[in-house]
Amino acid sequence: MSRNVIEACGLGKRYGSTWALRGCTLAIPAGHVAALVGPNGAGKTTLLNLAVGLAEPSAGGLTVLGGLPPGSPAALDGIAFVAQDTPVYKNLSAADMLHLTRNLNRRFDQHYAEARLADLGIPLNRKAGKLSGGQQAQLALTLALARRPRLLVLDEPVAMLDPVARHDFMATVLAAAAGKGEAGGVSVVLSSHVLAELERVADYLILLSQGRVQVAGEVDDLLASHRVLTGPAAEADKYADRPVVHVRRGAAQAHLLVRATADDPVPPGWEAHPVGLEELALAYLREPGAAALPGPARGREAESSEVTT
């Protein structure tokens, strides 16, 4: 049985005459915190909605949790979803939200949920609408984790949070994925524009941009297969035949992000530097025509994806 938590082949979703996602093929393995990155309109939310069964595909196929149909009882039982607006019922208290979620799900750890809210200083009798944005996000995350899911799907969960609330939220996600505490060992797929936060928590990257999955693989492998070359700006064009992803040129120096390993020779007069996740993602977003080369450690990965929103 496949260990992929999300697997798509030729997946497409159309609203009227507009394709929100088209020809998307990818596989996200279990046991990772997988970051889904891309510009607005890249189809990230559409892909996640399809994965959790909130939408039906217009083309292609999609399975979750090792081959289950999205929206099936088994899939719903194993996936927890926190949408972009961290949905909570504003007029219900935190205790009411726990009671409602417990009654709507086959599995719910009431003790864990109450203990976690107590640790966060969130009163059970306070209405959700009276909580801060960070507390509402933590309440939504607590409800999701208390369901003991195999896969946690988060759509822009920290977009509206301040830096402290964002850090605390992502720390909880990382602990859950790492198997720490009572709600540990969860696979996570999250979309976000906050690249600095993703660099701290993500160990798998999927980058959607302008019609295809450009990058899909384990973060360590991707970073190891890219380098930044710094050298004379006048000589930058000499390396146009190399696998250059992005060029940043100044008056005297040029910075080339290239597909290369630490063992690859460095051109005379140039220096090589390691690359970070944020720098790598931004380079591919700025150069949507630069497709990443397949790597040996990625297994089944994205082949193509066309997004037309």
Q: What is the mean pLDDT of residues 53-65?
A: 94
pLDDT at 98 (0 to 100): 96
Which among 90, 101, 85 is positioned nearest to 157, based on CA atoms? Answer: 85
% of the chain exceeding 90 in pLDDT: 45
What letter would DSSP give residue 239? G
| Count, residues in the chain | 309
The two tokens of residue 119 are: 């640790």
Closest CA to 192 of 201, 183, 180: 201
The pair of structure tokens assigned to 88 is 């909570």
Reduced to 3 states (helix: H, G, I; strand: E, B; else coil), residue 300 is coil
DSSP assignment letter at 37: E
* pLDDT reported for residue 158: 80
User: CB-based contacts of 228: which residues, under 8 Å, 6+ apart?
Assistant: 255, 256, 257, 258, 272, 273, 274, 275, 279
Pairing of strands 4-15, 59-64: antiparallel
pLDDT at residue 2, as a whole number: 60
8 Å CB contact between 276 and 199: yes
pLDDT band (50, 70, 90) for residue 204: very high
C-alpha 279/C-alpha 159 separation (Å) is 20
Dihedral angle of Cα 145, 41, 279, 265, to the nearest 10 degrees: 110
Per-residue exposure over 99-113, b if at least 16 CB sit within 10 Å of its own CB, e if not:
eebbeebeebbeebb
pLDDT at 210 (0 to 100): 59
Q: What is the mean pLDDT of the chain?
A: 85
Of the candidates 198, 215, 238, 226, which has an alpha carbon nearest to the alpha carbon of residue 294?
215
As a dihedral over the C-alpha atoms of residue 114, residue 119, residue 125, residue 126, rounded to 10 degrees, the angle is: -130
Cβ-Cβ contacts under 8 Å for 83 (sequence gap 6 or more): 155
pLDDT tens across 47-58, in order? 999 999 999 999
Distance CA 153, CA 168 (A): 17
Q: What is the pLDDT of residue 100?
A: 94
